[in-house]
Amino acid sequence: MSSYQGVIVSDPWLQSQFTQVELRTLKSKFINVRTQHGRVTLGDLPPVFSKLKAFTEMFNEDEIKTVLGESNSDMGEEIDFEGFLRAYLNLQTHAIEKSGGTKSSFLKATTTTFHHAINESEKASYVAHINNYLAEDKFLKDFLPIDPATDALFDLAKNGVLLCKLINVAVPGTTDERAINTKKVLNPWERNENHTLCLNSAKAIGCTVVNIGTQDLAEGRPHLILGLISQIIKIQVLADLNLKKTPQLVELVDDSQDVEELLGLAPEKVLLKWMNFHLKKVGYEKQVTNFSTDLKDGEAYAYLLNALAPEHSTPSTLDTSDPTERANMVLQQAEKLECKRFLTPKDIVEGSPNLNLAFVAQIFHNRNGLSTESKNMSYAEMMTDDVETSREERCFRLWINSLGISTYVNNLFEDVRNGWVMLEVLDKLFPGTVNWKQANKPPIKMPFKKVENCNQVINIGKDLNFSLVNVAGNDVVAGNKKLIVAFLWQLMRFSMLQLLKNLRSFSHGKEITDADILNWANNKVKKSGRTTQMESFKDKSLSNGVFFLELLTAVEPRVVDWNLVTKGETDEDKKSNATYIISVARKIGCSIFLLPEDVIEVNQKMILTLTASIMYFCLQQQGEGPDDSDLASEVSRLSVDGSVSDAAPSPQAED
């Protein structure tokens, strides 16, 4: 593998619009053009952009030239790399508009940097949700209720506290609230810490935040804040729509094969399946396929509520010919089931997909009408994973979604079986490694096409020197969980080590090893005047969390409040420390996906990722300073001894 260098852009906002992988890829394209022509002009860009995956199916060269010409009449004007990036964003804006994505989508779980019209109904719904769930919060109660008719929501979001608290409502325990800066007046540094904690915590629950930065939140940019809030709320309302949380869902299918298909469905699809299941039982002949046009006339809602709550049903709901009147009656009936009115009759009639989805999910939570007596119930229970496998599935699923690939992963072990997701991940991490001409895009009917995709995945893994002895694409297609976890772990670890190597371009190309990471952490703590050390990444003494709190303090002295730290002697104290460690690490900028249990139980893989993430943050921060000599000195002191206890060999061969 070639070395991928870190790319720094002088404009912080522009930097925040791209991942480092995207910046490296685009920088490479820019340099290639400059090498060929001696300089780069707007006129040079159409043939370059037309070959990029983001645009190849959307524009031809002439169309790209027209788009770029609209913003600058002089196509011969020389541009620098930042101008190249701005031209890319300009074209991407047109691509989104051309595809019809002019509004932020609650259903697609995306957050983009482009200007969208604010949907006032959705804004009002989100405000009502916040007012309801956070009304008693000690810090926020002074600012609630928010008036949806004003911009108070965006102003309140500027200090980062609201979004951090909302994430905890969606997935309780994600953020240790002791790590949130909650003073009445925050300085810019404290506010930035809150936003960093918010974005890393959002990624940790499954939000896609590739194109949003801390400055966007600090400025209270409405469409980005609404886009992020919509994702957080979506995760909350769809949390129980899986067999683990609601095993009664097996009633929706007839046999064990259908149970496997149910496992692979996105929560939205499960919700539609549930809705149609009840509608069919009461004689509703239409099939509901979406949360928009199929629900506009209100009939499906009327039938659904009659099926779930016949004691509250009235014939007049179906007798009326006025859709708005029927929608109003539907909402009145739903309120009797304690479904709070977060949407209006107008939202139903106009077919608001986001609000309808939330409304149907709320009905499901309050009364799903499913039975615990099912012939498939025992089969569903047999399919549940052990605790460690479940945690690893969660970690890799959230990590993949955080990369911002086009496919959203809902169930890791099901969604990777056709090979497409893994190809997308490999292409995102290592551009150019995937031969897309030999890839088969879903939906894939023929099994051998899935095998072709997975064979390419395995071959790329072998090119990266992953340990894949006697492994073939068939194993992935068959859903071999052990193999899938092993491959993804090597992929995550390799990309992590590559990131660290990118910060060491001056170190003669030496590969980073697990031993380097361990020795760096021990040296960092020792230099800070503390004596705690770790022998390996599965050193049981790490379970009390003290070492990592000392490491975080050594990296950023002001970030740990030692008054909140325990000795970690009891299970409760260990969990308190572990929860605090994760939030503090996210607060300084570490993108991590482990759980407190991974620290308490000293999960070797997760401990390595935590340590490496802290190391990456530290070296990156020092590398961005005015003097790189300290960084060079610190890196040069890293041990080259690879004999660290229990540290696995690097997946890439040492030179």
The pLDDT-based confidence of 255 (bands split at 50, 70, 90) is: low
CA 323 to chain centre: 38
Whether residues 216 and 325 share a domain: the answer is no
Whether residues 253 and 372 share a domain: the answer is yes
Partners of 645 in the beta sheet?
Answer: 536
Between CA 617 and CA 555 the distance in angstroms is 9
Give tens-digit pLDDT for 523-542: 999 999 998 999 999 999 99
Whether residues 21 and 52 share a domain: the answer is yes
Residue 596 and residue 606 in contact, taking contact as beta carbons nearer than 8 Å: no
Question: Which residue shows structure tokens 């020792």?
Answer: 526
CA distances to 245, 254, 296, 348 from 287, in Å: 26, 18, 13, 17
Whether residues 369 and 416 share a domain: the answer is no
Question: Domain of 617: which CATH number?
Answer: 1.10.418.10
Whether residues 265 and 372 share a domain: the answer is yes
State whether residue 41 is helix, strand or coil: strand
Between CA 544 and CA 457 the distance in angstroms is 39
- What is the pLDDT, as a whole number, of residue 99? 59
Mean pLDDT of 620-628: 52
Mean pLDDT of 403-427: 91
Q: Which of 363, 399, 358 is nearest to 278 (CA)?
A: 363
Whether residues 233 and 265 share a domain: the answer is no
Mean pLDDT of 431-453: 92
Whether residues 191 and 273 share a domain: the answer is no
Partners of 78 in the beta sheet?
Answer: 41
CB atoms under 10 Å from CB of 509, counted, come to 10
Between CA 274 and CA 277 the distance in angstroms is 5
- What is the pLDDT, as a whole number, of residue 624? 44
Half-sphere exposure of 124 (CA within 13 A, CB side): 11
- What tokens were used for 310? 């016949």
Residue 145 CB-density burial (10 A; 0-12 exposed, 13-18 middle, 19+ buried): middle
Mean pLDDT of 616-643: 49
Question: Which residue shows structure tokens 């400059």?
Answer: 34
Question: What distance separates the 2 farthest-apart alpha carbons in the chain?
Answer: 80
Half-sphere exposure of 284 (CA within 13 A, CB side): 24
Residue 397 and residue 591 in contact, taking contact as beta carbons nearer than 8 Å: no
Residue 488 and residue 461 in contact, taking contact as beta carbons nearer than 8 Å: no
DSSP character string of 174-208:
SS-GGGS---SS--HHHHHHHHHHHHHHHHHHT--
Is residue 582 one of the residues assigned to a domain?
Answer: yes
Mean pLDDT of 235-250: 87
Q: What percent of the chain has pLDDT over 90?
A: 49
Is residue 347 one of the residues assigned to a domain?
Answer: yes
- What is the pLDDT, as a whole number, of residue 647? 36
- For residue 562, give the DSSP letter: G
State residue 604 phi and psi, 5-degree precision. -55, -45
State whether residue 34 is helix, strand or coil: helix
Q: Is the pLDDT of residue 456 over 90?
A: yes
Q: Which of 393, 334, 391 is nearest to 365 (CA)?
A: 334
Over its C-alpha atoms, the chain yields an Rg (Å, rounded) of 26
Mean per-residue pLDDT over the chain, rounded: 83
Between CA 644 and CA 447 the distance in angstroms is 43
Whether residues 478 and 546 share a domain: the answer is no
- What is the pLDDT, as a whole number, of residue 623? 56
Whether residues 265 and 374 share a domain: the answer is yes
Per-residue b/e over 94-104, b at no fewer than 16 CB within 10 Å?
bbbeeeeeebb
Does 57 or 201 have the greater pLDDT score?
A: 201
Domains of the chain: total: 5
Whether residues 174 and 255 share a domain: the answer is no
Mean pLDDT of 162-167: 96
Who's near 327: CB < 8 A, 6+ residues apart? Answer: 298, 301, 345, 346, 348, 349
Q: Is the pLDDT of residue 232 over 60?
A: yes
Question: Which residue shows structure tokens 């509703």?
Answer: 284
- What tokens were used for 389? 């496998």
Q: Which of 566, 448, 474, 532 is nearest to 178 (CA)?
A: 566
Is residue 480 one of the residues assigned to a domain?
Answer: yes
Give tens-digit pLDDT for 577-604: 999 999 999 999 999 999 999 999 999 9
Q: Is the pLDDT of residue 283 over 80?
A: yes
- What tokens were used for 268? 């939205």
Q: What percent of the chain has pLDDT over 70?
A: 85
Q: Is the pLDDT of residue 444 over 60?
A: yes
Whether residues 252 and 375 share a domain: the answer is yes
- What is the pLDDT, as a whole number, of residue 137? 93
Is residue 144 one of the residues assigned to a domain?
Answer: yes
Give tens-digit pLDDT for 96-154: 766 554 333 444 444 444 444 678 889 999 999 999 999 999 999 889 999 999 999 99
Does 636 or 491 have the greater pLDDT score?
A: 491
Is residue 172 one of the residues assigned to a domain?
Answer: yes
Question: Which residue shows structure tokens 């009840």?
Answer: 278
Is residue 167 one of the residues assigned to a domain?
Answer: yes
Last residue of a domain, one of 238, 265, 287: 238
Between CA 578 and CA 576 the distance in angstroms is 6
Q: Is the pLDDT of residue 355 over 70?
A: yes
Flag the least confident range among 153-162, 259-268, 443-452, 585-594. 259-268
Mean pLDDT of 52-59: 76
Mean pLDDT of 353-358: 92
Mean pLDDT of 374-381: 52
- What tokens were used for 269? 């699809």
The pLDDT-based confidence of 508 (bands split at 50, 70, 90) is: low
DSSP character string of 113-156:
SS-----HHHHHHHHHHHHHHSTT-TTGGGT-S--TTSSHHHHH
User: Domain residues for 154?
Assistant: 120-238
Who's near 365: CB < 8 A, 6+ residues apart? Answer: 237, 240
The pLDDT-based confidence of 645 (bands split at 50, 70, 90) is: very low
Does 153 or 654 have the greater pLDDT score?
A: 153
Whether residues 256 and 226 share a domain: the answer is no
Is residue 231 one of the residues assigned to a domain?
Answer: yes
State residue 645 phi and psi, 5-degree precision. -60, 130
- What is the pLDDT, as a whole number, of residue 561? 94
Give tens-digit pLDDT for 187-210: 888 999 999 999 999 999 989 887
Does 466 or 99 have the greater pLDDT score?
A: 466
Does 242 or 19 have the greater pLDDT score?
A: 242
Residue 271 CB-density burial (10 A; 0-12 exposed, 13-18 middle, 19+ buried): buried
Is residue 649 one of the residues assigned to a domain?
Answer: no
Q: Which of 82, 83, 56 is nearest to 68 (CA)?
A: 83
